[in-house]
Structure 1
C-alpha cells in the first residue's frame, strides 16, 4: 500500500489538487497515521510552498520522527523564514527527538542565507557537543555559513575539521574567500583542489571565482581559467558561461564575451541575455545593446527587471530619445513602472536627454511610491548636470528631512552643486555633515570636497582633503586634485602630481589626461602637453578622446599657434566633434584669424544650427573687428532660425543666502538699491583712477 501511495504522490507533484485528493484518500483509509506516509505528504506540501498545510499536518501527527522535524525545518529555511525554523529546531530538541546531521545542515543553510552569525555560532557549539564537526555534510554547511557571514578564518577552521573532504566543502570555502575578494587565497585553494585526484571541479567551483575577475588587469588570468574550463569539458555549463560573459565584459573584452554567448546556442537562459546586454551597455556599445534587446523580443525570451535596467542604461543622448520613450511605454505595458530599480533607470535615462526631459525625470520621481537612495541621488545628479544646482540643493534638504539616511553619493551630489554655485559657506556646512556621518574619508565625497574647495578658490583646503584620504589609489581623488591645480594656474604642481600617480601605480584613465592637458593649457606648458597627448596610446595604452584633442587645441590656441592647432585637428584619426571645433573657433577669434574662424563657424552652423554658441562667438568677433554689417547678418540669422542666446548666470552668497543674477537683471526686489550702489562705486572708481593718474603725472614732472 505504501508503494501505491508513493506512486500517487509522485504523480500528484505537478498538481496541488491531485495532492489534496491523495491526502484525503490517505486520511479516509487511515494511512495518514503511518509516519512514513505523513512525512511524504509533508515533503510534497513543502515542495509546493504550502507551509500552512504542511504545518497543519505536522501539528496533527500523533508520532513524529527526525525526518518529520527536518522536513518542516528545511521547508521554512528554504522560504527564508529562519525565525520559524529556529523555533521548530528548539522544540525538536526539547521534545527529545534525535537531532542529527540533517537537522544541523538544513538549519545552517537558512542561517547562512540570513547571515545570522550569532545563531550560527550557537549551532556550531551544539555540533561540537554532539560530535558532528567531522561529518562532511555538517562540516560543509558550517564552512558555507561562516563563508557567507564573511568569517573566512572560522570557515577555514571548520573546513580543516572535516574528516573526509569533498567538492562541496572545497567549493564552499572558495566561495567564502571570493565573497571577501581575497583573490590570492581563492585561487590558491583552486590549485590545491586541482591536486586532489579524488575531487571533481564543477560549475560550483568556477562560477564564484569568475566573479572576482572584473577588471582589465585580470584578463590574462581569466583566459587561463577559461582554458581550464575547456580542458575539463565544462564549457556548456550555463552558470560558468554566464559568469564568463560578465567577466570578459568587465575585463574589457566584449568580443570574447559575445563569443561565449554565441557558443551557448539554444542553451542560453535569461541570465545569459541579461549579462550580454549589460556588457554592451557598460562599454557604451549602444547599437549592439539595442539589437540584442530586439532579438530578445523576437525570440520571446521572458525578460525581467534586470533586462530593462540594462537596456535603459544604454539610452543616452538626443539620438536615443525616441527609443527610450518606446522602452518607457514597454515598461508601463509590463507593469514595471512602480518597480523602484526600473523607475530609477528611467529617471537616469531621462536625465541624459536634452534639458526638457528633466521634467519627465522629475514626474517619474514624484510618481514613484517607493523611493530609495538611488532615486534621490539620481534626481539630484540630474539637476546638477543640467546646471540646476539650486534645485539640487533643495532636493538635498528634502532628502535630509526624510527618513532616508544620506549616503556618499548624496553628499557628493550636494557638494558638486555647491562647487557649481561657488557657495563656500554652504559647502563647509555639508562638509561638517559628511564628517558627522563618517563619510569625510570616502573617496567620492573627498573628491567632491576637493572640487568644491577648488572652485570656491580655497585650494589649500582642497589639498588638505586630498592629503587626508585613506586610499591613495583613488583615481577619482587624484584626477580632481590635478584638475583643481590646473584651474588655479598651477600647471607644474599638476604635472608633479601626475608623476606621483605614475610612481605610486595609481590607475590612469581618460579623465586623468583631460585634467593634465587642461593644466598644461592654463599654464602655457606647450611642449609638455603635446608630449603627453602623443604618448597616451603608445605609453599609457589609453586611446585619446575628443576631449583630449579639445584640450590640446585650447593649449595651442592660448599660445597663439592657430596653424598648429589646425594641423592637429587635421591629423585626428576621426572627424572632430563640435566640442573640438568650438574650442578651435575660440582660438581663432582670440588670435584675430577672421577667415579661419568664419570657415569653422559655417561648418558648426551646419551640424549644430540650433546652438547659440557659434552665433554669439561670430557676433562678438565681428563686433571686435567693427564689422557691423556682418554682425547684423549673424543676428538676423539667429532671429530667422529662432535661436536665442542663453544668458550667463552668476551667483553670490551673502549671509548664507545664495542670490543668482545675469547681465542687466532687474528681477531682484532690491534692484534699485543695487544699481544705485553700482553707480556710486563706478563713480568712485573713476575718481580714484583720475586721481591716481594725476599723482603719477606729478611724480614724473618732479
Structure 2
C-alpha cells in the first residue's frame, strides 16, 4: 500500500536532521578535513536534494578527490539539473581532476532523462578518447542514453562492443527497441538473453509488454505471462501493471482483472489506475465507478490521473449524478485548480526556464496545448523553437501538440511540417494531422492521409475514424463516409461509438438527407445522447425543416433543460422563418428556467498578448477609440454602393481589435435591406 504523504515528509525531515547532526559533529571535532568523512556528508545532503548546503560543504572541503566531484555531479543530475552538472564537469577538468566511469555514468543518465542527444554524443567521444568504452558503468549508461533517445542502431553498436554486457545493458537495449516499436528485434533479444543465461527481471518484461497492444498478440501475451510466472516476477508491481494494460490492449478484460486480483497486498496507485483505465477504455463505466470506490475504501488516495479518468466516463446522461458528485470531491480535495488554467500553465513553463530546470516532453506538450487553447500563435512558435533546441520536436506527443496548435491557428502547412518530423508509425501524429486538414476544409487531403495510414499499417483507432468521418462530412462524400462507418467493425475491428454516429448524422444532414439521418439514429445499438440530437438539430435548422427541428429540440430540452445551445439554435430558426410568436415563447421559457445565452468570443494575438471581445463588449482598455472608429465605419457604408476603397489612418493593433469586436455589427448594419454584398477593401 502506498505510504501516506505525511510519513514521507516525516522520513525526509528525519533524514535531513540526521545529516545536519552529523555535519555539526564533524565541524566540532574537526573531522570534516578528512575527505572520506566530508564526502559522506556531501553525499547525504545530495540524497536529501539539499544542493544549496551541499555546494557550501563542497566549497569547504580542503582536499577534494574525484568522489567529491562525482557526488556533486550525480546530485544535480538526480535533481534534473543537467546544465549545472555539465558546468561542474568543466570545473572538474579545469582543476585537473580525471573523469572516471562514475562521472560519465551520472552525466549520461542525465542526458538520457532529458533526451539531449547532442550532449550525449559529445560525452561519447570523451569516453572513447579517455579509454572508458569498456567500463561497465560508462558503457551501460551510453547504451541506455542512445536507446532512450531512440538511436537504437547506435545503442546496439555500443552493446556489441561491450566485453561482457550485463542485465542492465540487455534491458536497456530491449527497452530501446520496444520504444521504437520494433517487436521482432525486441523479442529476439529476449530469446538471446535467455540463451546466454543472463538473469531476466522486471526491466526486461515491462517494455516488452507495451508491444502487445492488439488482439492479434493475445496468445503471445499469455506466453510472456507464463515466463513472468516462471521467473518469479509475477508479484513485481511494475510487471503487474504492465500486464494489466497489455491484456486490456489485447481485448481481454477478464485476464487483466485476474492479474489485478492476484496482486493483493502489493498494489500501488498505478495498479489501481491501470485497472480503472481498462474498464473505462472498454466502456465498462459502472465497474470503473465501483473500482474507484474500492480503492478509497482500502486506503488509496486518488491522484489527478484517477480523477480525470473517472470524470471522463461521466459524459453520458445516465452518469450525470456521478459527475456532479465527483466534481464536489475534486473541489473538496483542492484539485479543481489543477484543471484548465492555460495562462497559469504558461507562466509556470516560463518559470521553469528561468530556473534552468530541465524541461521534458510532457512540459512541452502541456505548454503547446495551452497555446492552442489561447490561440497564441507567436508564443506557440517560440515554444516550438525551444522544443527543437531541446531535441523534442520529433517526440510524438510534442509533435501532436504542435500539429493541433498550428491547426487551431490556421497554419496547416506548419502542422504538416511538424507531422513530417514524427516517427512514421505514430498513430497519435497521424490522427492529429488528419484532424488538422479535415477541420481546415481540406478533407480530400485528410482522406488521402487516412488511406496512406492504412496502407502503411499504422494502427487505426476510434479517433482515426472520427477524423476521417469529419473529413467526409466537410467535403460532402456521403457514400464514402457511410461505407467507412459500416466497415469499422467488420474490416478494422473497431466498434462504432456515439461520436462516430454523430459524425455520420452530420454527414447526412449537410447533404440534406434528414430522413436517412433520423433512420440512422434509430438504428444505433445504443440510446442517442445529446451530442447526436444536437447534430441533427443543427442539420434540421440548416435545411429549414421546422417540424423535425421542433421535435428534436423537445428531446434535447428534456435531456438538458439548462443547456443554452438548444434554445439559441431553435430561436435562430424561428427568427429566420419569421415565426415571431414561437421565438418570443422560447425567449420567455429561457427566462423562466433561468437559462442565459453564453456569449461567443473573438480574439486576436498581437505581440504575444491576446485581445478578446464579444458583442457590445466595453472591457478593453482602448474601447473608447474602438467604438469611435466603429461609429465612423458605420457612417461610411456608402462604400457598398460605390465599391471604393475605405481609407482610415489607424494603427494596426487597434484596427485588428475593433475589427474583431465589430465585424458582425458592421455587416448587420451595412446589409440591412440588401440581398447581396459586393467586394470591398480596406487600406491602413
- Kindly provide the CA deviation profile for residues 626-659 of structure 1, in whole angstroms up to 9, marking residues without a partner as x: 65544433232223223344566778999x9999
1:421 matched residue in structure 2: none
1:378 is displaced (CA, Å) by 5.5
Q: Aligned ranges for residues 111-510 of structure 1 at < 5 Å?
A: 111-115=107-111, 117=120, 118=122, 121-122=125-126, 126-127=130-131, 133=134, 138-139=135-136, 141-150=138-147, 156=156, 159-160=159-160, 166-175=166-175, 177=177, 183-196=183-196, 198-211=197-210, 221-248=220-247, 256-273=255-272, 275-276=274-275, 292=291, 295-301=294-300, 307-312=303-308, 314-315=310-311, 320=323, 323-324=326-327, 326-331=329-334, 346-347=337-338, 349-350=339-340, 370=351, 381=369, 392-393=374-375, 399=379, 405-407=382-384, 445=402, 449=406, 452-453=409-410, 469=420, 474-485=430-441, 498-510=450-462
2:488 matched residue in structure 1: 536
Alignment root-mean-square deviation, CA: 5.9
Find the residue that maps to 1:574 and give its secondary structure.
Answer: coil
- Kindly provide the CA deviation profile for residues 401-457 of structure 1, in whole angstroms up to 9, marking residues without a partner as x: xxx95138999xxxxxxxxxxxxxxxxxxxxxxxxx999x95654565566558xxx
Contact 1:139 1:169 in 2 (8 A): no
Find the residue that maps to 1:407 and give its secondary structure.
Answer: helix
When residues 249 and 310 of structure 1 are mapped into structure 2, their CA distance, relative to the original with a 3 A threshold, is farther
What is the alpha-carbon distance in structure 2 between the residues aligned to residue 647 and residue 40 of structure 1? 68
- Kindly provide the CA deviation profile for residues 153-212 of structure 1, in whole angstroms up to 9, marking residues without a partner as x: 66545545555555455335445555666554333221111223x433222422344455
1:572 is displaced (CA, Å) by 0.9
1:534 is displaced (CA, Å) by 1.7
With 471-480 and 311-320 compared, the bigger mean Cα shift is at: 311-320
Structure 2 unmatched runs, 5+ = 1-14, 78-84, 112-118, 354-358, 644-670, 677-684
Computing the radius of gyration from Cα coordinates, the structure with the larger value is 1
When residues 72 and 559 of structure 1 are mapped into structure 2, their CA distance, relative to the original with a 3 A threshold, is closer
Contact 2:345 2:370 in 1 (8 A): no
When residues 93 and 167 of structure 1 are mapped into structure 2, their CA distance, relative to the original with a 3 A threshold, is farther
When residues 246 and 673 of structure 1 are mapped into structure 2, their CA distance, relative to the original with a 3 A threshold, is same
When residues 548 and 499 of structure 1 are mapped into structure 2, their CA distance, relative to the original with a 3 A threshold, is same
Count of matched residue pairs: 576
Is 1:527–2:479 an aligned residue pair? Answer: yes
What is the alpha-carbon distance in structure 2 between the residues aligned to residue 578 and residue 687 of structure 1? 37
When residues 250 and 499 of structure 1 are mapped into structure 2, their CA distance, relative to the original with a 3 A threshold, is closer
2:632 corresponds to which of 653, 673, 684? 673
When residues 477 and 290 of structure 1 are mapped into structure 2, their CA distance, relative to the original with a 3 A threshold, is same
Contact 2:102 2:137 in 1 (8 A): no
What is the alpha-carbon distance in structure 2 between the residues aligned to residue 165 and residue 648 of structure 1? 62
1:434 matched residue in structure 2: none
What is the alpha-carbon distance in structure 1 between the residues aligned to residue 518 and residue 228 of structure 2? 52
Find the residue that maps to 2:637 and give its secondary structure.
Answer: helix
Structure 1 unmatched runs, 5+ = 1-12, 62-67, 333-344, 352-360, 386-391, 412-436, 455-460, 691-702
TM-score, normalised by the number of residues in structure 1: 0.62
Find the residue that maps to 2:628 and give its secondary structure.
Answer: coil
1:229 is displaced (CA, Å) by 1.4
TM-score, normalised by the number of residues in structure 2: 0.63
What is the alpha-carbon distance in structure 2 between the residues aligned to residue 608 and residue 516 of structure 1? 29
Find the residue that maps to 1:265 and give its secondary structure.
Answer: coil
1:482 is displaced (CA, Å) by 4.2
What is the alpha-carbon distance in structure 1 between the residues aligned to residue 416 and residue 349 of structure 2? 37
Contact 2:178 2:211 in 1 (8 A): yes
Structure number with greater CO (CA < 8 Å, separation at least 6) is 2
Contact 1:246 1:257 in 2 (8 A): yes
